[in-house]
Each structure stands twice: as C-alpha cells, then as structure tokens.
Amino acid sequence: MPEHHDFEAVDRFTAGTVGEPGSRLFLFQVAAEGVVVTIKGEKQQVAALAEYLQGVLADLPDVESDVPVDLALTPPYEPAWVAGTLSVAYDDGADRIVIVIEEAGDDEDEDEADGSSVRMRVTRPQVAALVEHAVELVEGGRPPCPICGNPKGPEHACPRTNGHGPPS
C-alpha cells in the first residue's frame, strides 16, 4: 500500500549507509511529526542531490543559524520503499527548500502517481548540513581506479588493462 507524507517542517533529513564500502546500502531518512521514513537510494542519487542542493544554497543569501550536528541514521534501517524521482524547489515565502522523493516504479505496469512519496520542507541550515554529510558519505567509499575510474577493490579487474592489474 503506497504511503504519502507531506511534512511542513522536519526534525531531521539525512542520508546514510549500512554495510561496508563496496556493498553499502544507501538510505535517505526523514524524521518529522513523530514519524521516521527510511527510503533506499543509490549512491548516485545521494551525490546528485547533494550537488544540486549545494547549487541551490549558493544562489541564496547566507543565513546564520545553528546547523544540525547529528545526521546519523536511526532505526528503522529497513527501507519502506526505493527512491525513484527526486525533485527540489525553493519556497521563497517560507524560506524552505522543498524536497520530494517519489517511489521508483515499474515503467510498464505502474502509474507514477500510485507509488509512495514524501514531500518535506527543509531549512537552509538543515540542507547545508545534509550536503556536507552526503559529500563525506559518497567520498567515503572505495577509491576509484586511476586508469578506468571504476571503484577499486579486491574484485576489481580493470577493463582498460584487459582484466590485469595496473602497470607497475
């Protein structure tokens, strides 16, 4: 059954991971009105959202305010659904950044309106903290191979060296 949340204000909006680099599960998590919603995302979604939000913040005047410090995930770590479309807008009147995460659907069988979604209005300090945290998460993974750019690890067979290790 699809769930829809529309939060006027959030206590916390964060991204996090469960697991070790190379097999990490990326999660978005929003806490508001006594509800915690955990959504499975992709590393690329976390990176793209952080990059886009950084641009949004750069276009707005600086604001002095306390920035949330604790952005660690809280239980439940089990995602309610998988993120598909992420949308961002700025509500000038409320001075909030509106973020919408919609559930990924089967393109053939499902109408996008039938999936779960969360719409949240997030303060600029909350967004700034998320951006900084998300960049650290994304960069905290496996380092890229200097030759092909794919993540390095014990199983890495560099396609640009025909599966052999990098030259000494």
Q: What is the tens place of the pLDDT at every residue in 12-51?
A: 999 999 998 878 999 999 999 999 999 999 999 999 999 9
Q: Is pLDDT above 70 for 165?
A: no
- Residue 152: the pLDDT is 78
- Residue 168: the pLDDT is 39
Confidence of residue 64 (pLDDT cuts 50, 70, 90): confident
What the chain holds in terms of domains, given with CATH numbers, is 4-161 (3.30.2450)
Confidence of residue 109 (pLDDT cuts 50, 70, 90): low
Element (H, E) at 124: helix 124-139
- Residue 139: the pLDDT is 87
What is the average pLDDT value for the chain, to the nearest integer? 89
- Residue 108: the pLDDT is 55
Residues 125-145: tens digit of each pLDDT: 999 999 999 999 988 877 778
